[in-house]
Structure 1
């Protein structure tokens, strides 16, 4: 049932600004909570305007928390923008535990299952991949050579256009003497798409090649963290086994990787083939051994088949990128409600991107199950922000130009909306990168706000599905876990249907409640986890993988 679409919204009763839900012209009359006043200037959709006249240095509240202070005095009905608002957030300290929460009705999902790949350690994968990984950047070329040799022959070539037909059309026009303007005007809409070959190994979803620029030359901390991250991928429930290429002399040694694997899975029994180029000798010897081992491993992986699993075997990674002024009132709260549903069912949720939790530290620390967990969260937040400030870029520098243009003026505004993805349940664990964060309940994982670095870390921490909200649009994906993209507004969803899976703009449009959207999203998650639906990022082969160097990355 369609509901009346509002023109503006107060997110929290304590907020002293309203959010425009559509473009509002100057002079538009506001009638809210006994107040009637005209807008002093035009307010674009997603942006905020004041409920009262405010003096210089007055505090601005959104989501019930401090998100900024006024640089100058403003009148009632004035738009909030970078020129008149600066970042500000409340300090935080050890508080009392606030662990009570209202669990959602989960009757619709209590007996539901998904069809996944059951591993010997009790985890369940939503996909079945084989990995080829370099321990050091020196092996990247060899990994790409393996990719060239294996991917197409085995039927794993991405089912998307390579645009070679478009290039052929332009070459023909150029040879015929076309001018620059004529080349720019060529119609390429009829160019053909690639045809995907059938897979040789029907039960293996893909062979994934994870190149990176680390493993040596940096700090030992970074190389050790890389081994931990790669171990998270090798032991991941969506992975059947791996081929590892090592040069031999680098910091990131195979022995460190094996130790990290054992930390995460003491009874690890997946096929694991490690080849060291300096021991093997010639490139041909290395490559032939790696090809034979990978092919044999794929034949083992192909014996795995999907079987029913309860929903508590899902571990959902929560991510946002290209956020806008609607993120915190549509897609993110919908994921928050979904998170509460899954946690009530006994599942796991990972909330990351610590620079985007600035301003809500007190709420999240108070929700931690005990003081030790709260102290760890606060310590990680303070240490990370202090390092950023020491490098001249605190958390307040997090919003991107696109964020600001679409209404996220300060980091605290962005963070308060981003945190809504985590729902209302207690925080069961706080985990530092690159460790596992897959305990039942809400896990806080220390990662940057950088979309790909954070998604890469969440998957290594155990997420077997990632839910990614976006207001501006982003193609981000992951090689191992399916990344489901959710638009915060209908306009972006309709403009970028090739990269976005679901529309949460229906909440803004008055077509759905947050609860209804959450139920719809979870139904889609179940279909994806069962292999019945491929998200757009999977279809496009958007295998983004960037390990985090523990420096400043916002």
Structure 2
């Protein structure tokens, strides 16, 4: 029997607005908490409407916290919009520790393992990649030349990214005299996708060629942070070794990179080849040495095989992008439950995107394991927001046009929903960018809200799987860590099946509970971590990599 779908929802008992779970027409009768009233206007799904009359400057509460203030008085049954609501959030200060929490039942996962790549430092990778990295943007061309020389011949080129058959079809039509209108009407759905070549090194998941626009010309802080970020990738459990190209004279020196590697892994023993063009001489000499070293490194990496590992070896990065009004009540709480399950089993979880924690600072700081950790979190939040304010772009400007269109009217509304990804467990550590996570439990990592910058940083911190929720649809991936995409609503899942892996809209549809969805997610993660399932971002070769310049990025 099909379950009845709710029309609206109060997220927290303190809330004075409801969320429309489907499109509600003007005049729709609301029966809530002993009140009956008709909607004054149509309310689109994901948007919020008032359940009582609110005066000018009245507080609006969602998720039990302040998310805005009214610009003018409204009656009940009125949609909340950017016209009548402005961002507001509560202040925060050092409070009492609130560390008690109810651990979820994890009996269904007792004894479960995943097959991963065991590293000498005790970490376990969910993949086995070789990296080719430039220390400075001057070497980007040489990195791309290496990619051209190695990728296809070794069998690592992503077949689905080549649209040459579609172009061939259009060329043939044009040469046959097709008009512009006829060209626009051509059906290209039958064009064939390329076939994957057999890999020479079957135990190596790929060679990843990273590019960036940093390393020199900016501040020393930026170049030092870049070295720390790259060191995080080189020491990452999903990486077998790396080839690094350096010009030689840039701020981001090879010696700084080596120091950052040692900070993260004092007994680092992976193959690492660093070549400096100004020392090697000609480009040909540089490239021939880099090709030989990379090939030899791949032969060595290919000797490693997957072996069983317990689930406490998982480090999951939590991310959201293209969020909508359902994010905080479907996909994000489901990730929060996954987070609590993994923490209960001794694993690590990373909650990042500090601009999207605005308004829930008090709750999160109170959940920090001790006062030192709480004070570190509050200092980072205040410093980041002050910098943003000084540049005329505070956290209140975080919501994008797409966020607003789909119900996230203020940053506090967006943040309160985004924070649900972190579940309810105590916060064991707070890490500043571009640091590494080495503490089991829930970790807070200071990153921007920008999807790619934040995902890039989470992986550098040690995330060997990233769970990424989206309500509007985003193709974000990462070069070395599988990024699993979860939709907040069924319509988007059905519209964009090529980039979305898991539908959490089943929660909104009344087909699943949050714990049921969380169990389904963790089952999928285990398959991904074992190499049995490739998420869509991996299939598409979505290798997004953007280092954060330590400035204002929301």
Distance 2:4 2:222 in 1: 53
CA drift at 1:438 = 3.6
CA drift at 1:159 = 2.9
Distance 2:491 2:313 in 1: 34
- Contact 1:431/1:437 (<8 A) preserved: yes
Is the aligned partner of 1:164 residue 2:164?
Answer: yes
Distance 2:400 2:180 in 1: 35
Is the aligned partner of 1:385 residue 2:385?
Answer: yes
Distance 1:36 1:186 in 2: 54
CA drift at 1:446 = 0.2
* 3-state SS, counterpart of residue 528 of structure 1: helix
* 3-state SS, counterpart of residue 327 of structure 2: coil
- Contact 1:315/1:438 (<8 A) preserved: no
Match of 1:528 in 2: 528
Match of 1:106 in 2: 106
Match of 2:433 in 1: 433
Distance 2:172 2:516 in 1: 52
- Contact 1:399/1:414 (<8 A) preserved: yes
Match of 1:192 in 2: 192
Alignment deviations for residues 308-333 of structure 1 (CA, whole Å, 9 cap, x no partner): 00000000000000000000000000
Match of 1:149 in 2: 149
Is the aligned partner of 1:181 residue 2:178?
Answer: no
Match of 2:137 in 1: 137
Distance 2:242 2:482 in 1: 19
Match of 1:87 in 2: 87
Q: Which runs of 4+ in 1 moved over 4 A?
A: none
Distance 2:103 2:161 in 1: 45
Match of 2:308 in 1: 308
Distance 1:275 1:444 in 2: 35
Match of 1:54 in 2: 54
Match of 1:20 in 2: 20
Distance 1:161 1:543 in 2: 12
Q: TM (normalized to structure 2)?
A: 0.99
CA drift at 1:175 = 1.9
CA drift at 1:2 = 5.0
* 3-state SS, counterpart of residue 53 of structure 2: coil
* 3-state SS, counterpart of residue 108 of structure 2: coil
Greater mean deviation of Cα atoms: 180-189 or 253-262: 180-189
- Contact 1:349/1:438 (<8 A) preserved: no
Alignment of 1:452-491 (within 5 A): 452-491=452-491
CA drift at 1:174 = 1.7
Distance 1:422 1:2 in 2: 31
Match of 1:271 in 2: 271
CA drift at 1:4 = 2.0
Match of 2:234 in 1: 234
Q: TM (normalized to structure 1)?
A: 0.99
Match of 2:42 in 1: 42
Match of 1:359 in 2: 359
Greater mean deviation of Cα atoms: 210-219 or 154-163: 154-163
CA drift at 1:437 = 1.8
Match of 2:327 in 1: 327
Match of 1:508 in 2: 508
* 3-state SS, counterpart of residue 343 of structure 1: helix
* 3-state SS, counterpart of residue 241 of structure 2: strand
Distance 1:338 1:208 in 2: 29
Distance 1:502 1:159 in 2: 23
Alignment deviations for residues 481-508 of structure 1 (CA, whole Å, 9 cap, x no partner): 0000000000000000000000000000
Distance 1:58 1:415 in 2: 20
- Contact 1:329/1:417 (<8 A) preserved: yes
Distance 1:326 1:196 in 2: 38
Distance 2:288 2:146 in 1: 10
Match of 1:498 in 2: 498
- Contact 1:396/1:410 (<8 A) preserved: yes
* 3-state SS, counterpart of residue 160 of structure 1: helix
* 3-state SS, counterpart of residue 66 of structure 1: strand
Alignment deviations for residues 49-76 of structure 1 (CA, whole Å, 9 cap, x no partner): 0010111111000000000000111111
Distance 2:100 2:317 in 1: 23
Distance 1:114 1:40 in 2: 53
Distance 2:285 2:4 in 1: 68
Q: CA RMSD in A?
A: 0.7
Alignment deviations for residues 4-36 of structure 1 (CA, whole Å, 9 cap, x no partner): 210000000000000000000000000011010
Distance 2:152 2:171 in 1: 26
Alignment deviations for residues 328-382 of structure 1 (CA, whole Å, 9 cap, x no partner): 0000000000000000000000000000000000000000001110000000000
Q: Decide whether aligned partners of structure 1 residues 260 and 2 sit closer, same or farther in structure 2, where only a CA change above 3 A counts.
A: farther
CA drift at 1:161 = 4.0
* 3-state SS, counterpart of residue 526 of structure 2: helix
CA drift at 1:190 = 1.1
Distance 1:2 1:508 in 2: 14
CA drift at 1:173 = 1.7
Unaligned runs of 5+ in 2: none
Distance 1:270 1:124 in 2: 14
Distance 1:305 1:161 in 2: 28
Distance 1:437 1:95 in 2: 25
CA drift at 1:3 = 3.2
Distance 2:421 2:2 in 1: 25
- Contact 1:41/1:78 (<8 A) preserved: yes
Distance 2:4 2:342 in 1: 30
- Contact 1:2/1:512 (<8 A) preserved: no
Alignment of 1:240-255 (within 5 A): 240-255=240-255
